[in-house]
Amino acid sequence: MFKKLQNLDQEMRTNLLHYSVLVVMMNIAVGAFLFFSFNHTYQLIILLVTGISYILWGIIHHHLQDDLHLKVAAEYFLVALLAEIIILSLILRA
């Protein structure tokens, strides 16, 4: 287990720019989502753009790492889809 943490730490250090872009992207999305809390239509647009951005970030990141496979792209798509379904259900419930 300790070796896995070392590998993760090494990956984070070598890909600091990639993960920084992801963190900034998600922070902007959360900020915009909260800023437009009065308008569900804007929130839905922000949700869709964030999901697409997350998928594209994952594809670009793994392409640059030379480990992009269909399974990886499908995983990013499914995670984004699951998050969007959960958040969409919360928006429509309110």
Q: What is the pLDDT of residue 42?
A: 96
- Give residue-wise pLDDT tens across range 40-84: 999 999 999 999 999 999 999 999 999 999 999 999 999 999 999
pLDDT in tens, 8-35: 778 778 889 999 999 999 999 999 999 9
Separation of alpha carbons 56 and 79, rounded Å: 13
Taking each helix axis from N to C end, the angle separating 40-64 and 70-93, rounded to the nearest 10 degrees, works out to 170
- The closest alpha carbon to 32, from 23, 44, 21, 20, belongs to 44
Task: List, in order, residues 6 or more apart from 45 with CB less than 8 Å away.
Answer: none
pLDDT (tens digit per residue) in 64-74 = 999 999 999 99
User: What's the pLDDT at 1?
Assistant: 62
